[in-house]
Amino acid sequence: MKRVYTATDIGAHRRNNEDTLACIEPETYLVADGMGGYAAGEIASRLMADAAVEVIGARKNVDEAVLREAVLKANGDIRRLAGEKPEYDGMGTTATLFHRDGLTGVWAHVGDSRLYLWRQGMLHQVTTDHSLVSELVAKGTITPEEARQHPKRNVITRAVGVEKDIKIDTGSFPLQSGDGVLLCTDGLTTVLTDEGIGEILADPSLMDKARALVDRALDAGSRDNITAVFVSYDD
């Protein structure tokens, strides 16, 4: 049996919610975090979701190549619109997609949104952030805690819709009964540690994990839009 929980919140400090989430039946999920002036961020993340619905919705079998194709289509769509309207110049979005194919989870990813695997009470980050602070953490220049406070924590090194040639990470892993997957934007992970997220996922009194995570991020003072999708698989 599958349970799906989704939540998104504009947060206390923003005038727009530039995050988009999508559940593409039966088994694909997406979060996207847009950027750009005026309403461009909202449009970029929405174009990412629309491209995913169009590409993935038309396929019987979804694999890494299909998820990649959805991101490539969005990259072209966003660049085309940005080329037509000066106010959309430079807009882009993150994209993190997850699909379950039987006993296998497949994913595609660009930017600093995240896919986590929740297994037997342990949280594992599946994707790597394409961000300046993530590179500094990998080099050992700063700690993950310092990354959360870093003045340049919002600088991402890859985004959908910005350049013609886009590098897309994809991967797959075996799923087990009892696994959960979490897709979320940086509005969540900037204020909650992996330990903090794990505490909420492990708390049996909190049924709607997505809402609980977003509420906790709001309580923690997130200044950003916050989005979470949690899917649990119990067979």
Whichever of 180 and 187 has its CB closer to Ca ion, that residue is 187
Whichever of 18 and 69 has its CB closer to Ca ion, that residue is 18
Whichever of 70 and 156 has its CB closer to Ca ion, that residue is 156
- Please choose, out of 122-130, 191-199, 206-214, 221-229, the segment that lies near Ca ion by the rule CB under 5 A: 221-229
**Are 133 and 150 in contact, with CB atoms under 8 Å apart?**
yes
- Please choose, out of 4-12, 31-39, 211-219, 226-234, the segment that lies near Ca ion by the rule CB under 5 A: 31-39
Binding Ca ion by CB under 5 A: which of 42, 64, 179, 186? Answer: 186
Single-letter amino acid, residue 188? L
CB of 131 to Ca ion, least distance (A): 11
Dig out the tokens for 14 from the structure.
């923003």
What's the CA gap between 170 and 63, in Å, rounded? 10
Q: Which residue do the tokens 């997130």 mark?
A: 222
CB of 185 to Ca ion, least distance (A): 5
Indicate whether 33 belongs to the interface with Ca ion (CB under 5 A).
yes
What does the H/E/C string look like for 189-204? Answer: HCCCCHHHHHHHHHCC
* Rg from Cα positions in the chain: 17
Whichever of 9 and 224 has its CB closer to Ca ion, that residue is 224
CB of 92 to Ca ion, least distance (A): 12
Indicate whether 112 belongs to the interface with Ca ion (CB under 5 A).
no
CB of 30 to Ca ion, least distance (A): 15
What's the CA gap between 116 and 39, in Å, rounded? 29
Indicate whether 9 belongs to the interface with Ca ion (CB under 5 A).
no
CB of 224 to Ca ion, least distance (A): 4
Dig out the tokens for 203 from the structure.
């708390």
CA angle 36, 37, 42 (to 5 degrees): 60
Range list of β-strands (E), the chain: 2-9, 19-24, 28-35, 92-93, 95-101, 104-110, 114-119, 122-125, 169-174, 180-184, 226-233
CB of 206 to Ca ion, least distance (A): 23
Binding Ca ion by CB under 5 A: which of 224, 226, 227, 229? Answer: 224
What's the CA gap between 221 and 182, in Å, rounded? 21
Per-residue binder mask for Ca ion (CB under 5 A), 77-106, x = binder: ------------------------------
Contacting positions for Ca ion (CB under 5 A): 33, 185-187, 224
